[in-house]
């Protein structure tokens, strides 16, 4: 049914947001411990947060979500399949880093402690010598893997931009961009944020705001819808955006029982009806809802609601 299809699409949209969010958080975490490694303060517990094999790390969950919607879906696009492949590669490279880091951090101090003890037999000396070689190899592999994984993450981050640009109508994704803008700035840099929005939408931030506001509306978050579309009005004064601001504001007021201001906002929206840029199906749906709620307000006995007294 159409309801089931809508729920399925929304669930997919939500998972796309999770993929983007977890990947960006993984980038931040990796950069932190890569920097720590170069300073000599690298710790295994930091790697554990990024990757494990028990489902409690960022990359494990990222790989799991990607597999569930891309690898198990024959209709996945080439960009989706490529990202799934990249995430799997990053996960396995990170697991190698984890193993080498564990060896160096756990066995290294123990080996040194044993080497300092007297009265070692020939077999013990031989074992410790071989262990020392193993740890040296692990250190070298760790250095190489960290550099290679850093490069792989950087390349995949560029790939992620194209991936995100495939979902310009994903309102949940646009909401994430606005709600977690600081995360985007941290990963891409504040100076590249508007460029990123323009990659996803031709109209850039304006379209991100409009799409996010529409998503808030469909989710019943009328306050957030009004607040978001109000920010869009700082970038455009077109009648369609003004219409939506009055419409969303009217809904917010109506469900907060502020009927006087609700009617004022609905009437302001209807005043823009004739000059609205496009009368789309959704636009006509909005007008129908305005008329319906306005009738409810006007038919409410004024003596039972002080907010309506004097409203005609």
pLDDT at res. 71: 77
Q: pLDDT band for 274, please (50, 70, 90 cuts).
A: low
Q: Give yes or no for residue 78 having a pLDDT over 90.
A: no
Q: In this structure, are residues 157 and 184 in contact, taking their beta carbons and an 8 Å threshold?
A: no
- The average pLDDT across 44-54 equals 89
Ramachandran angles phi, psi of 61, nearest 5°: -70, -35
pLDDT at res. 51: 93
Share of the chain above pLDDT 90, in %: 60
User: For residue range 80-101, what is the model confidence (pLDDT) as tens digits?
Assistant: 999 999 999 999 999 999 998 8
> What gap in Å lies between CA 292 and CA 114, rounded to an integer?
82
Residue 233 vs residue 303, higher pLDDT: 233
**Largest interatomic CA distance in the chain:** 102
Q: pLDDT band for 263, please (50, 70, 90 cuts).
A: very high
| Cβ-Cβ contacts under 8 Å for 147 (sequence gap 6 or more) | none
Q: In this structure, are residues 175 and 216 in contact, taking their beta carbons and an 8 Å threshold?
A: yes
Q: pLDDT band for 308, please (50, 70, 90 cuts).
A: low
The rounded mean pLDDT for the chain is 88
Which stretches of the chain are DSSP H helices?
Answer: 2-39, 44-50, 58-66, 78-102, 108-115, 122-164, 171-179, 181-188, 193-200, 205-218, 222-232, 239-255, 259-271, 281-299
Q: In this structure, are residues 244 and 267 in contact, taking their beta carbons and an 8 Å threshold?
A: no
| Cβ-Cβ contacts under 8 Å for 87 (sequence gap 6 or more) | 23, 59, 62, 63, 66, 156
pLDDT at res. 223: 98
Burial 191-209 (b: 16+ CB within 10 A, else e): eebeebbeebbebbbbbbb
pLDDT at res. 2: 65
> What gap in Å lies between CA 225 and CA 211, rounded to an integer?
10
Residue corresponding to tokens 């504001």: 249
Terminal Cα-to-Cα distance of the chain (whole angstroms): 43
Q: Give yes or no for residue 231 having a pLDDT over 80.
A: yes
Q: Give yes or no for residue 199 having a pLDDT over 70.
A: yes
Q: pLDDT band for 309, please (50, 70, 90 cuts).
A: low
pLDDT at res. 30: 94
pLDDT at res. 1: 65
pLDDT at res. 272: 83
């Amino acid at each position: 049914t159409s309801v089931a299809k809508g729920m399925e699409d929304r669930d997919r949209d939500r998972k796309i947001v999770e993929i983007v969010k977890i990947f960006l958080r993984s980038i931040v975490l990796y950069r932190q411990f890569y920097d720590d490694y170069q300073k000599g303060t690298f710790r295994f517990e930091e790697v554990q947060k990024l990757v494990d094999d028990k489902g409690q790390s960022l990359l494990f969950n990222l790989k799991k979500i990607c597999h569930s919607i891309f690898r198990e879906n024959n209709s996945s696009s080439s960009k989706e399949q490529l990202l799934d492949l990249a995430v799997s590669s990053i996960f396995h490279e990170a697991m190698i880093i984890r193993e080498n880091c564990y060896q160096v951090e756990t066995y290294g101090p123990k080996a040194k402690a044993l080497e300092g003890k007297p009265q070692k037999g020939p077999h013990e000396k031989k074992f410790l010598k071989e262990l020392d070689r193993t740890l040296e190899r692990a250190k070298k592999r760790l250095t190489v893997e960290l550099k290679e994984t850093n490069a792989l993450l950087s390349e995949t981050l560029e790939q992620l931009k194209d991936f995100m640009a495939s979902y310009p109508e994903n309102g949940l994704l646009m909401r994430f961009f606005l709600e977690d803008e600081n995360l985007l700035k941290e990963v891409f840099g504040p100076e590249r944020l508007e460029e990123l929005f323009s990659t996803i939408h031709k109209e850039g931030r304006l379209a991100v705001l409009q799409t996010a506001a529409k998503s808030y509306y469909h989710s019943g978050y009328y306050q957030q819808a009004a607040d978001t579309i109000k920010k869009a009005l700082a970038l455009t004064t077109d009648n369609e955006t003004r219409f939506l601001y009055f419409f969303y504001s009217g809904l917010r007021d109506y469900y907060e029982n502020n009927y006087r201001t609700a009617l004022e906002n609905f009437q302001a929206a209807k005043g823009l009806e004739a000059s609205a840029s496009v009368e789309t199906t959704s636009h006509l749906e909005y007008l129908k809802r305005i008329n319906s709620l306005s009738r409810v307000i006007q038919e409410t006995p004024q003596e039972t609601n002080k907010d309506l007294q004097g409203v005609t």
